[in-house]
Amino acid sequence: MPSPLFAYGLVLAGAFGVALLTTLLMYRFALRHGLLDVPNERSAHVVPTPHGGGIAIAAAFFFSLALLLWWDVLPRDAGMALLGGGLLVAAVGAWDDHRHVAPPWRLLVHVLAALWALFWLGADLSAFDALLALLGMVWLINLYNFMDGIDGLAGAQALCAALAGGVLLWLSDAPGLALASMALAVSSAGFLVWNWPPAKIFMGDAGSGLLGYSFAVLALAGAQSGALSALIWLILLAPFVLDATLTLLRRMLRGERWYQAHATHLYQRMTQAGYSHKQVTMAVIVLNVALLWGLAAWVWRHDELAVHAVSVAGMAGAAMWVYLQIRMTIK
């Protein structure tokens, strides 16, 4: 292994470069082969746009994980969980981006990926905790997909959450997990160069599913190693977790077909109300930097109060979600 400083820089710079270049290649490939996302009544875009660019995030992230495992920087159990299950989720997502995969089969692959992660990381979990972790991983994979609906949003949230999580893992003396998280951040940043509003290419299921899965595994690995509470990841991912979960619950309570595609998430309501993709994405970035990063750091410093802090923050976030949903509907 090269000197640590050089090695860590190589991992992060390499991840950014691979994501940037691969997104360009995917953009040209999609144009050449007509792989375009054509607008429909639920779409937030108005012109056909290449899709499937999330493969670039996968390529960059897997490149980083391979280096970290080769140099024995990343614990083997966490690396195998991220790589094996990540490949499954990214592969079925890429297939679904270009050839439709029936939801039950896609869900089956997500469950298998979660079981793979539990095989490597769940040895100390009780049966109940393992089931809870499995459901949480599958939900995070899918909710991240639900939230990838406007230019830049999914990539920006990934960049903010993974960067902050990486810093806290580093401060918690877990350099391998920290570098994996930071690699996920810079992989998202490389893609975001092309996906920033107005997007030249969309992420697709290959990228969004992988991001959700990777965050779930990082949360489980950090918690199992004692480095970082999984509750901190709930804070860092709060905009997506709250919007996706509350929207799903509302649709179920209303007796709607919650499993069908729709355009009623808060971020979608905001664009329907006249806010641009850039304005909504920037609002999420500001929320992360101005509030969620500080709250996550405070919970990290006061771990004994984590459950109470997350509960209060969750209720406040839910109240704000209800208010904004009403406000956007009226507007």
State the chain's mean pLDDT as an integer: 93
- Does pLDDT of 36 surpass 90? no
Find out whether the peptide bond into 198 is cis, omega within 30 degrees of 0. Answer: yes
The mean pLDDT of 48-64, rounded to a whole number, is 94
Report the 3 state secondary structure along 284-298.
Answer: HHHHHHHHHHHHHHH
Q: What is the rounded distance in angstroms from the CA atom of residue 154 to the CA atom of residue 257?
A: 24
**Segment 305-326, tens digit of pLDDT:** 899 999 999 999 999 999 999 9
Give the pLDDT confidence score for residue 41 in this predicted structure: 61
In angstroms, the CA 247 to CA 282 distance is 21
Strands (E), 113-228: none
pLDDT of residue 325: 93
How would residue 5 be classed by pLDDT, with cut points 50, 70 and 90?
Answer: confident
Q: How confident is the model at residue 1 (pLDDT cuts 50, 70, 90)?
A: low
Q: Is the pLDDT of residue 2 over 80?
A: no
The pLDDT of residue 307:
93
pLDDT in tens, 178-206: 999 999 999 999 999 999 999 999 999 99
pLDDT at 46 over 80: no
Which pLDDT tens digit goes with each residue over 130-189? 999 999 999 999 999 999 999 999 999 999 999 999 999 999 999 999 999 999 999 999
Does the pLDDT of residue 286 top 70, yes or no?
A: yes
39 pLDDT more than 90: no
pLDDT at 7: 79
* pLDDT of 107: 96
Measured at the CA of 53, the angle between CA 49 and CA 54, to 5 degrees, comes to: 135
Q: Band the pLDDT of 260: cuts 50, 70, 90.
A: confident
222 and 152 Cβ atoms separated by less than 8 Å: no
**Which residues, including other chains, have CB under 8 Å from residue 302's CB and lie 6 or more apart?**
309
Asked if 282 and 152 count as a contact pair (C-beta separation under 8 A), the reply is no
Within 8 A by CB and 6+ apart from 293, the residues are 160, 164, 236
Mean of the pLDDT values across residues 95-106? Answer: 91
Mean pLDDT check: name the lowest of 73-77, 216-220, 302-306. Answer: 302-306
| Three state DSSP letters for the chain | CCCHHHHHHHHHHHHHHHHHHHHHHHHHHHHHHCCEECCCCCCCCCCCEECCCHHHHHHHHHHHHHHHHHCCCCCHHHHHHHHHHHHHHHHHHHHHHHCCCCHHHHHHHHHHHHHHHHHHHCCCCCHHHHHHHHHHHHHHHHHHHHCCCCCCHHHHHHHHHHHHHHHHHHHCCCHHHHHHHHHHHHHHHHHHHHHCCCCCCCCHHHHHHHHHHHHHHHHHHHHHHCCCCHHHHHHHCHHHHHHHHHHHHHHHHCCCCCCCCCCCCHHHHHHHCCCCHHHHHHHHHHHHHHHHHHHHHHHHHCHHHHHHHHHHHHHHHHHHHHHHHHHHHHC
In the DSSP assignment, the letter for residue 261 is -
